[in-house]
Amino acid sequence: MPMPPLPNTMSHNPGVTNPTHSHHHQHHKPYPVQPGYPQAAGVRYSGYPTTHPGYPSYAPSYPYAGGAMYPHKGKKMKKSKMKKAMKYGLPAAGVGAGVGLGTYALASGFHHSSSSSSSSSSSGDDRRVLLWSVPEAMYGKGSPVVMETNHISNIFCLAFDSGNTKIFSGGNDDQVIIHDAITGNLVGKLPHRKPVYGLSINPQNDHVLATAGDDGKILLFDVRESPNSDALCLAKQKTGFHSVMFNPTNPRWLATANSEEGIALWDCRKPKELLIHYDANAGSISGISACFNSTGTRVLALRRRLPPVLYATQKESAVCQFYHPQYYNSCTMKTCCFAGDGDEYVLSGSDDFNLYMWKMPPDDTVEWGKSHLVLRGHRSIVNQVRYNKENNLVASSGVEKMVKVQDFFFVGAVVTR
């Protein structure tokens, strides 16, 4: 099987054109030995396992099944800001939900709107939040609406409220900005002490949001209160939080990913008290991203230099992990998501410039999720991926100036166009 390109070699990174972005790529190290993790019997090359006896046949790879590219234009970031953005291995492009529309600055944030709306928002190194009409963008028509207020530095995360009337953006400038999605005007700002890496809106109350910060805190805000009011500190650790998400059916629970404390579940009724520390006996794990499925019964998580992992929400031990010999997650921060009408697939980007899809196991007795397919087409590391159930669209982006959007119907059926 051909090996993926070396992410730490500039000549193999056609999507990284600015030399300052080469810092995103670190030398690969082999996967650490973890209980139950399959160790390759063959030679390891740049940290990629090359063989694994007894593992199911690997998924085929396919080019992207059509889609669109949404462009971002922006000024070149100063080196000092980029260095700050790359702390903990964060890409200068950010940790938001990036996806594929053509851009002139790294696309770092992307989020599908709720319900049956056909809008999406994106952000990048140019510090702007853009609102796209997906049907128009898919056919190369129209242009995005630019939100009135820019961030001062990289944008890392985005979210719509349930009515698609507001867009929340957080980033490297230590604040969350609330935008009116209809007019583009500024609604308000929520100051933080350090960069905001993740945010989530309460699915039952659009006035309440949670943020994950570099200061090691998960904060709960009520936007109806004064911006100077103290937020509720739900969790506090010595190291930064990279991700937070409300449970979609039981919003008193929140899943988080911490840079050294791994993946955890919290109850907002019991601040600073861990409800569940997933895989607590596995030693120090660097958590990168965590998300719930649509029913809130499963947690999908990413950990640095480890395969994606699935947990039952109320159980500490993992249900299964998702393996592919060429999947690797070390150089940058990434997100993951469930996909399909019944959340029967999971998606995550990789350091080898590809987007990987696995099929959920039929029951909890299967230790390793079956690899479904590999989606190629990105020109650099894929950091962000989102699935919109209403429109059956998959969007992905990373260390390059575009967001790719494709029809999941064709992807799931393994049909290309």
Residue with tokens 């410039």: 353
Q: Is residue 160 part of a domain?
A: yes
Q: Beta partners for 63? A: 376
For residue 139, tell me if it sits in a domain: yes
Confidence (pLDDT) at 374: 92
Paired strand residues for 371: 358
Q: Is residue 182 part of a domain?
A: yes
Q: Which residue has better confidence, 103 or 299?
A: 299
Other beta carbons less than 10 A from residue 184's beta carbon = 15
Residue 118 in domain: yes
The helix (run of H) or strand (run of E) holding residue 31 is: none
Q: What CATH number is associated with residue 78?
A: 2.130.10.10
pLDDT band at 215 (very low <50, low <70, confident <90, very high): very high
What total number of domains does the chain contain?
Answer: 1
pTM of the full structure: 0.74
> Which pLDDT score, from 0 to 100, does residue 273 have?
97
pLDDT at position 78: 45
Q: Which of 63-72, 116-125, 225-234 has the highest mean pLDDT?
A: 225-234
Q: Compute the C-alpha angle 150/153/159, nearest 5°.
A: 60
Is residue 30 in a domain? Answer: no
Judge whether 27 lies within some domain.
no
Cβ atoms < 10 Å from Cβ of 26: 13
pLDDT in tens, 3-60: 333 333 233 333 333 333 333 333 333 333 333 333 322 222 233 333 333 333 334 4
Q: Would you place residue 227 in the very low, low, confident or very high pLDDT band (cuts 50, 70, 90)?
A: confident
Domain range for 401: 10-19+38-412
Which residues partner with 258 through β-bridges?
241, 262
Q: Is residue 28 part of a domain?
A: no
Average pLDDT rounded to a whole number, residues 397-402: 84
Least confidently predicted of 125-129, 253-257, 307-311, 357-361? 125-129
Spatial CA neighbour of 343 closest among 248, 251, 265: 248
Can you give the pLDDT at residue 113?
Answer: 53
